[in-house]
Amino acid sequence: MMGHHPGASSFAELTGGPNRGLGQAGGDNRCSAMARRPPSGVAVRTEEQVKDSEQGMKIIREVLPIKEVLVVLDDVAKEQHIEHLIGNYSLCSGSRSKDKVIALDIDGFDYFIEITNQEFERLQNLRYLKLCNGTYVGDFAKCRSKLTWIYWRCPHRDFRVDNMYLNHLVVFELGSSGFTDDSKVWDLIKRAQNLRVISLTECDGLTTIPDFSKCLHLQRLTLAHCSRLKRIQSFIGHLQSLIEIDIEGCIGLTELPEELGALAKLQRFSLQGCYGLCELPSSLENLTSLIELDLSSTGIAKSNKITRCNLRWIERLSRLKKLDLNLSNICALPELASLSHLEELTVTELIVSEQWAEFKKLPPSLKHLRIIMGTSSIELIAPSNSKTVFKLDWCDRKDKLKAMKIASGFSGVDSIHANLEDRRLVVAGDIDAMEMLRKLMK
């Protein structure tokens, strides 16, 4: 076993040694909660003082009202009984012995936890592992892990692991990490060819994405608030199973590869909050399976380069249902009426009157329009065949709205949420035609 970090506790110490179970309950559904030491000010109750499982659960709720508690129940097979005891029958199986445990939630509130290869070998049936403020150490060559889901937060940067192969891993979530591009930790996902989900949040040591080019079954990729991330490697275009990419709050990201346009199955794509991103690859027009596209709070609207191009390519995304755009300084807008499946539209910085002239014709499928910081006046024109319930939200942080005109084609307007105090609302045509207009809210 390798040496500990200063102040670190081994997993065996926290669970009572290599031969001790995680908790015990049995015989007439008795339940006992065991801990290495009680929290400060908490009275200790022995097993003799806990008469039955119901009393035990009551004590746990009173003593640890805001803590996550792992309760191991043996000889309790009925979901109704578990629900009665804990209030949640969606639980993982437990056992007296570690080798039958399938789920662990370990949070090192007071201690930095190290899980060694010897301890990991005894958890042969472990499927789900949530580890906060902890890490792994040792040579895992003899481990035959069946882990399918790892949630790992606040790990130590010193990753001292060899031969850790997670061939069954399906979901890998890593958060609040300082691992750099060359860290050995990325070997965990390089070799996990069955991965379906990768989520990297607040991984501030990354400047580019790890090499997971062999994860050909990957369906969802999340890169959130990785402040130093600058680029996405071109191999992402070979991951043809991807259906969702969320790149959000990565303020250092400055470019995207043209290969993104090869993702024929991609349905959701978000770049929200990527302020450093000033250009989009022209290949994005090939993402014809897109249902949701979010380009809000990016650097695209502020770039001088964008004035030499336009967003007309969005018209080709015929399956879009949800669209979020920031439109300041953009010269050419898409004709939204051609997006026959569009249901939700959010528009920010619609400030140029010429833009609105192009933009005001809306598709009949639209149900919700949200405008943030727009022009001094607004006119909406809907197709005469629009029968859907429609909701309009106007959020004007700069107090620019002076007048709103709604054409009678909006027979399905359900509600208007806007600050219309001292402003003018004009409804063109017969007000009785707007049968579903039920409320005007300030």
pLDDT of residue 247: 97
**pLDDT tens column, 116-167:** 999 888 888 899 999 999 899 999 988 888 999 999 999 988 888 999 999 9
Using DSSP's 3-state secondary structure scheme, residue 198 falls into strand
Amino acid at 404: M
d(CA 376, CA 299) in angstroms, rounded, equals 24
pLDDT of residue 225: 97
pLDDT of residue 113: 86
Phi first, then psi, for residue 305 (nearest 5°) are -65, -30
pLDDT of residue 439: 44
Contacts 24+ apart (CB under 8 A), 394-403: 394/370, 394/418, 394/419, 395/370, 395/371, 396/371, 396/372, 397/372, 397/373, 398/373, 400/373, 400/374, 400/375, 400/376, 401/374, 401/376, 401/377, 402/376, 402/377, 403/376, 403/377, 403/378
pLDDT of residue 440: 44
Q: Check the CA dihedral 99-104-108-114 and report its sign.
A: positive
Residue 315 parent element (H or E): none
d(CA 230, CA 165) in angstroms, rounded, equals 29
Residues of the chain falling short of pLDDT 50: 1-3, 16-42, 74, 76-79, 88-96, 303-309, 353, 375-377, 384, 387, 389, 397-401, 407-415, 418-442
pLDDT of residue 144: 84
Contacts 24+ apart (CB under 8 A), 130-136: 130/104, 130/105, 130/106, 131/104, 131/106, 131/155, 132/106, 132/107, 132/108, 133/107, 133/108, 133/109, 134/11, 134/106, 134/108, 135/159, 135/160, 136/161, 136/164
Residue 41 in tokens: 């000010």
Domain ranges of the chain: 22-96
pLDDT of residue 215: 95
Q: Which residues contact 408 (CB under 8 A, 6 or more apart)?
A: 427, 428, 429, 430, 433, 434
Q: Which residues contact 67 (CB under 8 A, 6 or more apart)?
A: none
